[in-house]
Amino acid sequence: MSKTYVSYNNIISSLGFDSKTVVENIHNEISGLELIDNKNVLPEPFYSALINSEKLEIAFNKLNPKQDYTRLEKMMISSLSEVIHRSNMELNDRVGLIISTTKGNVDALDETNRFPKERAYLCELGKNVKEFFNFENDPIVVSNACVSGILAVAIAKRYIQQNTYDHVFIVSGDVVTEFILSGFNSFQALSNKRCKPYDINRTGINIGEVAASVLVTNTSENLAKESVYILGESSCNDANHISGPSRTGEGLYRSMTSALAQANILAKDIDYISAHGTATMFNDEMEAIALNRLQLQDVPLNSLKGYFGHTLGASGLLETIVGMHSLYNNTLYASKGFETLGVSKPINVIKKTTHKELITFLKTASGFGGCNTAIIFKKSNQTKNHV
Amino acid sequence: MSLDGHVIFNEQHSNFSEFIKAAYKAQNTKYPKFFKMDHLSKLAFLTADILLKNQGINSEIENNIALVFSNKASSLDTDLSHQKAIQDKDNYFPSPAVFVYTLPNICLGEISIKYKLYSENSFFIFERFNAKHLFTYTNSLVQDNKAESVLCGWVELEGENCEAFLYLVSEKGDMKHTKKNIITLYNT
């Protein structure tokens, strides 16, 4: 079967408006998280990584918008615009569009929001993105909790392998809203400190916002220098609980097992794991158990939540993009916020940003509803660079 | 409600809650977790349960069935409940039991728990029923050996309006898996 590549990419975030700038900030261990005190959003102060609204307006207005767009639409369109531009591709009938989000424009449901409630329909969001760029095909909107962003990559691959499309653009995004914060707070899942994935002193998640976009393609021509191709992918449900992870990490274990089998490689062939690491007690513990069941405990691993917070439906795609740059730069980035191991099984959390030759990485994610996804990526261009 | 073309439940009720409760009782479902679910999950769960039970699927053992569901309104019905709970700061009562259902794929989790499905599940949003998408995506899952069979369809719930249409794709069957046949089934 022919290869499916993940190529051009963009991140719009608190750490910058293009992937390169964002990755440089990660290299320098700069976090986008800051303490926010806004009683209109949450009764108590909270940590979040927010996109600067003025910068977003400037970036978006350069695209000459002809109508009014929501904050999320501005983020998504700005992000996707760069990827389409750099891909230099005609948006014909062989080009698909996937939108990945958990809650889309859910802020439109708020009575004080200036947009009508109808704007909260996810298909409206899809339509607005499609029409901005004049995509020929209708968007495929995937909303599968916190695995959405990474699942979208597997979906793109499947559409390409079914010969429906040659190229698929994915744009993912969620915004920080009162809706989301109040919900996670009611679960007592929010930390009032900077999140500390896998650490003994972790006390929960921070919610952040990004828009992230990629081109997924079947052609090896004109690829971005940091391109990777998909070796194997799988999604498995825990069949256990709708809001808590399986204690044995069953779904994640099965996802990784099945992705490795499809990739036809062994656990020891993985150079780096970009894990989920939300910094809740149960999630991080579950991941450590699943990784140990597959003898992946020695592979260097990080969670990027200490840089961006948990960015929900965008997190999987955001972290895939950073993983691609990690491979290209041959650099393992420190798992921000981690000091002392606080899970019951050993895992190799990256404490210090270090250079190392990297060829293959595993991206995992888990979410409400018991869903888990794992994808294994390999460097497209295996020349040694930056070493 | 109909199963394989035969009406199995036909009652008029003043609202969705009463209707789905009556259908649950008529089907002798006996699954107490049902009453904790939101409306979308109740609709998706009961529809799937009737179909899978009739296929002789044993919920006591692991089953390799993927789930590919779709709708237009996502979890909007429960989103509005959560929004109501946070809109007024003098009457502020967000609840985890409601919030967890503000994701459309939770209903897939509910079905997976009952039928021990450690398999692929994905939830898609389209403006209207999209047979072409369900057909293509299901084919890719079957060809990649991701599951032995795939339970697919459309589960829409908004206020008192509901529509659920599910079908099972597997190697054995009377009807060939084509886009045309999916549309025919949907329209009957």
A21 and A164 housed in the same domain: yes
Hey, is the C-beta of A261 within 8 angstroms of any chain B C-beta? no
Shared domain for A280 and A356, answered yes or no, is yes
Q: What is the pLDDT of residues A312-350, one digit of tens each?
A: 999 999 999 999 999 999 999 999 999 999 999 999 999
Mean pLDDT to the nearest integer, B124-152: 97
Domain locations along chain B: 7-187
Strand partners, A235: A373
Are A114 and A170 within one domain? yes
b/e B67-100 (16+ beta carbons within 10 angstroms → b): bbbbbbbbbbbbbbbbbebbeeeeeeebeeebbb
A37-81 per-position pLDDT tens digit: 999 899 999 999 999 999 999 999 999 999 999 999 999 999 999
Residue A199: domain span: 5-217
Integer CA distances (angstroms), B55 to A139, A183, B24, B64, B172, in order: 34, 38, 18, 14, 12
Distance (Å) from the alpha carbon of B170 to chain A's nearest alpha carbon: 18
- CB-CB under 8 Å, A144 with B105: yes
Residue A1 has pLDDT above 90, yes or no: no
Say if residue A199 is in the same domain as residue A273: no
Coarse DSSP helix, strand, coil percentages of chain B, rounded to the nearest 5 percent: 45, 20, 35
Residue from the list A103, A162, A242 with its beta carbon closest to the beta carbon of B100? A242
CA–CA distance, A233 with A154 (Å, rounded to integer): 6
The pLDDT tens digits of the residues spanning A364-386 come to: 999 999 999 999 999 998 654 44
pLDDT at A385: 46
Pair (A324, A265) in one structural domain:
yes
Last residue of a domain, one of A217, A249, A271: A217
Distance CA A77, CA A63 (A): 9
Chain A window 7-46: which residues touch B at a Cβ cutoff of 8 Å?
Answer: 43
Q: What CATH class does B7-187 carry?
A: alpha beta
Same domain flag for A28 and A165: yes
ipTM associated with this complex:
0.97
Asked if A82 and A164 sit in the same domain, the reply is yes
User: Could you tell me if A259 and A183 lie in one domain?
Assistant: no
Asked, for residue A365, whether it belongs to a domain, the answer is yes
Note whether residue A138 is domain-resident.
Answer: yes
Structure tokens at A119: 């704007």
Query: Cβ contact (<8 Å) for A158 and B144?
Result: yes
**CA B30 to each of CA A69, A75, B63, B115: distance values in angstroms, whole numbers, following the listed order:** 47, 46, 20, 14
Q: What is the largest CA-CA distance in chain A?
A: 55
pLDDT of B6 strictly over 60 = yes
Strand (E) or helix (H) holding B109: helix B106-115
Question: What is the phi-psi region of residue A104: left when phi exceeds 0, alpha when psi lies from -120 to 50, beta otherwise?
Answer: left
Interface of A with B in 134-153 (CB under 8 A): 138, 140-145, 151
Q: Are residues A131 and A240 in the same domain?
A: no
What is the CATH classification number for the domain harbouring A126? Answer: 3.40.47.10
Angle formed at CA B126 by CA B121 and CA B128, multiple of 5 degrees? 120
Closest C-alpha among A170, A20, A178, A179 to residue A96: A170
Regarding whether A232 and A118 lie in a shared domain, the answer is no
Same-domain pairing of A273 and A373: yes
Q: Which residue shows structure tokens 């789905």?
A: B20
Examine the domain organization and report whether A213 and A233 are in the same domain.
Answer: no
Taking contacts as CB-CB distances below 8 angstroms, the residues of chain A near B117 are 237, 239
How many residue contacts between A and B have a Cβ separation below 8 Å? 154
- The number of folded domains in chain A is 2
User: Which letter does DSSP use for residue A310 in this model?
Assistant: B
Q: In the predicted model, is pLDDT for residue B129 greater than 50?
A: yes
On whether residue A384 sits in a domain, the answer given is: no
Residue that the structure tokens 């699927």 belong to = B57
pTM of the model: 0.98
What single-letter DSSP state applies at residue A96?
Answer: E
User: How do residues B156-171 score in pLDDT, each as one tens digit?
Assistant: 999 999 999 999 999 9
Mean pLDDT, chain A, rounded, equals 97
